[in-house]
Structure 1
Amino acid sequence: MADALHYLELTALAARLKARDISALDVTRAQLDRIDAMDRDLGSYVHVMAETAIAEAKAADAEIAQGRYRGPLHGVPIAVKDLFWTKGIPTAAGTTLHRDFRPSEDATVVRRLKDAGAVILGKLQLTEGAYSDHHPLVTPPKNPWNAGYWPGISSSGSAVATAAGLCFGSLGSDTGGSVRWPSAANGLTGLKPSWGRVSRHGAFELAATLDHVGPIGRSAADAGALLGVIAGHDPNDPTSVFNPVPDYLAAAAQDVQGLRIGVDAAWNSDDVDVATQRVLADAIDAFRALGAGIVDVRFPDVMQAISDWTPNCAVEAAVAHEATYPARKDEYGPMLASLIEAGRALSALDYQKILLRRLALRGHVTALFETIDLLLIPVHPFPPVTLAMIQTLGEQPDLIAKLQRYTCPFDMTGHPTITLPGGASADGLPIAFQLVAADLDEATLVRAGAAFQRATSWHRRHPSLVSRRQH
């Protein structure tokens, strides 16, 4: 059963559960068996919540049988990044500092998943504090496509588990690219919503004004189904917006006829490798064939925003960790500690200048979306990243800037983006691209992503894990 089911899209599984063609209990047991068989090698889970998952699956089956269907997540096994509070379950946020922390309540997004009838399989590994590296005492998850390649940060476990068929979707967070990089590296669809679209209550902070909570799935429709449940105003997070939550699954059924897709040919080709440019060109051709209009645009220069992202993140991380840093400095890994130190050292004048530049960039990007509906860009300008390359980032600031070029600007402005698999490298590793939309217009991202995925099959490629299962 597991072999027949584990790579189903969430929305396809939901239809079978609703029709009672299969039980949530059988699917959940199959997922737990698969996790037990494979995750020793992959390392995507921090905690597997088998007992509660079985109970939630039994409850879902009973409710569905009684005609009390809650929606497209009812009975679907998913997992969440281990920075979202889960009542009574250790929630460490990738740290050793918080490994014994057991929240007394669920994060809002976890509560909403449970209210929707989802089965929570467990908590997924991440980088320390959701920053750029795993704690030295934490073993990073492995990319299921090839263990020698980067699985992405910081939602590494979320993407690895979803790509490997160890859950049917997951929740991550994105402060500088942390939904998009792992989704691209693992051949998945990741949706970074607008800032404020999803409550951050009960989520460990990295940088409050940059943190975005978003779903990782196998398709745009899957991401839309997840976002539709977790989005919406939350009184416990006064920064969450009151804007009504659209029907993302209805948006996924629409075509893209007449949509205006902006392309900055210069930005998309500036030191961008040939394979990535080919993926962009193929995506443009696909959207044009589907009836969208391609519009030449000039995107604002982002070099200052890329330079500003780290000190902006650093100040906010220093605030987030004020209770434990420097008091428990020795328990921090070197990367997160250095970020916090930089934040504590930045002057108020320099921080205010960053905030003013952020507002100006947001204004320029908002104006651009008066002329287009979507912007098409890379996720990063090079092909899939090896672990050897990532290990040199600390000595190559230019490489870090390239990695962040197409991601962190949209954390700085808060605009939503969707990451879509669009091709493969010569070695068969996934290559993705992004679509960006106007503030709070995630529905158009889901609409365009789903249309692209009806016309292509890149999102239906999956890693072969046979050799791992035999070990």
Structure 2
Amino acid sequence: MDKSDLPFLSASELSRRIASREVSPVEATEAYLDRIDSLDFKFNAYLTVTREMAMEAAREAEREIAAGRHRGPMHGVPVAVKDQFHSAGVRTTGGSRILADFVPDEDATVIANLKQAGAVLLGKTNLTEFAITGFSHRFSTPRNPWDMNAYAGGSSSGSGAATGAYLCATSLGEDTGGSIRFPATWCGLVGLRPTWGLVSRYGVMRGVWSMDTVGPISRTVEDAAITLNAIAGHDPKDGHTSTAPLPDYRAALGGGIEGLRIGVVTEQMESELVEADVRRVVGQAIGVLGELGATVEEVSLPLSALAGAVSGTLLAVEPANNHAGWVRESLSDYGHDDRILLLTGSVMPANYYYKAQKLRELIRRQVLDALGNYDALVFPTSGKTAQPVEDDPPVTSKATSSRLPFLFTRLFNLASCPAMSVPCGFDDNGMPVGLQIGGRPFSEETLFRIAHAYEQGTDWHTRRPRAVE
């Protein structure tokens, strides 16, 4: 195989070829770095490329594999990580000019775990400022591989763009209100928000303490499975991580879904915020799940309609508290959307926050009650496909105060449940649509099983945007 074709292999297939020594980690890393050099000026996916570190890690992986010390599926696989995670000796900006020169002296646990698994770190990916808004970037805005004039989604925009443009084999994002699944759905990728507590957040810049979660953005379900296995598990540095034994998520693939019960959340599917062609595509995807043997039924979650407002309150108040010192002293250093969000969160009355927390608990109970009857809940990840890049708009009314009313990811964040977005087709303009699958806490194996069965029953994951050729 020509070296320039290696980036078009899935991470899992590349992993198998590296393990069999058919492909060298050095070759694979060089191929990705060559693509980054020649193409990333268009996509703006990376903020920092760690070329020398990557090549040294690739050479070390090659030596270890040649000596019979293969560490596992991620050994020698080139990856990218969101610049929200501390990286020893490598600048970590959080997407903000406030930290443009910040260089941590310790890796976040997820980066340390990737290195322990033998993965090759290509660099740090772009994101919205401090990962607390959906569109506003302080550096160049990442572009969507399916339409260079459209957003890649946020806040893990660079990870979505890099993975979708074949500038890494797989990547990590962080999801507080949907920031893994959002770029995944808009870029035609698989994105998993794991259960809160499954993956360490040590060394991760905070958004909302009780909702921040690190997970994979990948091109296939199997790629997401091997990426999650590399980063998940208990971490003594994060006392809120689970101590339960970690399953082999790749082993959950291929079991089929006959006999599983899947609930279609009516309020999300029928929302006026879902465009007609998105509803049609997601409806067809749900039909495929039935054809594959699952029992599919409608289920009503009336409080799900409030998830956006409740999440929005938490996403204003808690970041404002985290950034209180900088807000007082350096407000003008923030970008447009962050200034509005942080000022709003700074003056929001305590009773609003208290009410949001009460509503969150009611929503969580409603979700978990439904999941007592169903193995998974499904509905669109987003009611719209990728929108055109624009200047940050002024807020002139209540209607313009949120730029993401059509994003349906918040329900599972509020319930602390895992959720995955998988590509399920295209809208009338040829832009990707995502099917969202959510489950009970720590039911990632079930989500992988459903997503993989759907993926293998369709061909959406094989489609490639023209801009990446």
| TM-score of Structure 1 vs Structure 2, range by shorter chain | over 0.9
Matching residue of 1:329: 331
Amino acid at match of 2:41: R
For 1:28-427, what aligned pairs fall within 5 Å after superposition? 28-132=29-133, 137-265=138-266, 267-271=268-272, 272-388=274-390, 396-397=399-400, 400=403, 402-404=405-407, 406-427=408-429
The whole-number CA distance in structure 2 between the counterparts of 1:136 and 1:277 is: 30
Unaligned runs of 5+ in 2: none
How far 1:137 sits from its partner (Å)?
4.3
- Which residue number corresponds to residue 23 of structure 1? 24
In the alignment, the residues of structure 1 paired with residue 137 and residue 20 of structure 2 have an alpha-carbon distance, to the nearest angstrom, of 47
- Tell me which moved more, 30-39 or 343-352: 343-352
- 1:443 alignment partner in structure 2: 445
Q: Give me the whole-angstrom Cα distance separating, in 2, the residues matched to 1:296 and 1:133.
A: 30
Structure-1 separation of matches of 2:168 and 2:396: 33
Cα deviation, residue 399, structure 1: 6.7
Deviations 1:257-283 (A, max 9, x none): 211111134531232222112222221
TM-score by length of 1: 0.95
1:300–1:365 contact (8 Å) kept in structure 2: no
Shift of 1:465: 2.4
Q: 1:133 to 1:281 in 2, by over 3 A?
A: closer
Quick one: which amino acid aligns to residue 416 of structure 1? P
Counterpart residue identity of residue 405, structure 2: K
Q: In 1, Cα distance between the equivalents of 2:102 and 2:445?
A: 36
Question: Given that residues 95 and 135 in structure 1 are in contact (C-alpha distance below 8 angstroms), is that contact kept between their aligned partners in structure 2?
Answer: no
| CA shift for structure 1 position 10 | 0.8
Aligned 8 A contact 1:263 1:297 in 2: yes
What's the CA shift string for 1:3-43, capped at 9, x where partnerless?
A: 42212111111110001011000010011011000001111
Alpha-carbon offset, residue 156 of structure 1: 0.5
Q: Which amino acid aligns with 1:17?
A: I
Single out whichever of 305-314 and 227-236 deviates more from structure 2: 305-314
Separation of aligned partners in 2, 1:210 and 1:181: 15
Counterpart residue identity of residue 321, structure 1: H
Give the C-alpha shift of residue 79 in structure 1: 0.5
Give the distance between the partners of 1:285 and 1:198, measured in 2 at CA.
32
Distance in 1, matches of 2:230 and 2:138, equals 34
Do 2:177 and 2:211's aligned partners in 1 also have CA atoms closer than 8 Å? yes
- Give the Cα–Cα distance (whole angstroms) in 1 for the partners of residues 462 and 401 of structure 2: 34
Distance 1:97 1:385 in 2: 28
Does the CA-based 8 Å contact 1:135-1:332 persist in structure 2?
no
Provide the residue aligned with 2:5 in structure 1: 4
Q: Distance in 2 between matches of 1:306 and 1:136?
A: 22
Instruction: Give the TM-score normalised by the residue count of structure 2.
Output: 0.95
* Cα pair distance change 1:176/1:64, threshold 3 Å: same
Q: How many residues align?
A: 466
Asked if the contact 2:134/2:153 (under 8 Å) is kept, the reply is no
> Are residues 390 and 135 of structure 1, via their aligned partners in 2, closer, same or farther at CA, if it must alter by over 3 Å?
closer
Aligned partners of 2:137 and 2:372: how far apart in 1? 46
SS of 1:325's partner is: helix
| Mapped partners of 1:196, 1:112: distance in 2 | 15
SS in structure 2 at match of 1:328: helix
- Report the alpha carbon displacement of residue 303 of structure 1 after superposing the two structures with TM: 3.1
Give the CA deviation at 1:389.
10
Could you say what secondary structure the match of 1:79 adopts? Answer: strand
What whole-Å deviation, never above 9, does each CA across 1:346-400 have from its counterpart, x for those lacking one?
Answer: 2333322221221121111111111000111001223432335985887634874
The whole-number CA distance in structure 2 between the counterparts of 1:427 and 1:32 is: 31
Residue identity opposite 1:347 in structure 2: P
95 and 278 in structure 1: CA distance in 2 versus 1, 3 angstrom threshold: same
SS in 1 for 2:79: strand
**Equivalent pair of 2:127/2:137 in contact (CA under 8 Å):** no
Identify the range of structure 1 (292-301 vs 431-440) with the bigger mean alpha-carbon deviation. Answer: 292-301
* SS across alignment from 1:428: coil
Letter in 1 for 2:379: I
* AA matched with 1:100: D
Rounded to whole Å, the distance in 2 between the matches of 1:53 and 1:344 is: 41
- Compute the RMSD of aligned alpha carbons: 1.9
Question: SS of the counterpart of 1:147?
Answer: strand
